[in-house]
Amino acid sequence: MSPDDSQLRPLLVVDGANVVGSVPDGWWRDRRGAAERLRDRLAMTGGPADGPFAGPYEIVLVVEGRARGVASVPGVRVEEAPGSGDDLIAELARSAGGRPCLVVTADRELRRRVEEAGARCTGPRSIPAAPH
């Protein structure tokens, strides 16, 4: 399997609002900037180092509300939720096409929904800090 073949790589779907909101670092003053920092961290680290699936991952960061307008970068596709971020994340998990899917969120209801769709879940702390 080539790492460039995103259809064969495990899918990592990140609940941007939930992960950003898990650290009280002033994110509420600049939600878009906080989402951009998370995107950049994901691009640098490639996602969880000890997740249930071997990487590399195809990474999708889901943003909503005032975090909209964040551009995709190499290694991280940003999807803007037209409504509820949870609904888009659940749809991405359902449409994973049978390949492994890992969702990063601490939201209990969202975890239930994506696990029903066959995805696995991990919490926001599984995203490594950006290397210095």
The H or E element spanning position 35 is helix 31-45
pTM of the model: 0.91
Output the pLDDT for position 6.
57
The DSSP string of 74-124 is TTEEEEE-SS-HHHHHHHHHHTSTTS-EEEE---HHHHHHHHHTT-EEE-G
Output the pLDDT for position 25.
76
Q: Tokens 């950006």 appear where? A: 130
Output the pLDDT for position 132.
55
Output the pLDDT for position 44.
94
Q: How do beta strands 76-80 and 58-63 pair?
A: parallel
Phi and psi at residue 124, to the nearest 5°: -55, -30
Could you list the mean pLDDT of each consecutive 10-residue stretch along the chain, which spans 132 residues? 62 94 79 94 90 90 93 97 94 92 96 95 88 59
Output the pLDDT for position 130.
67
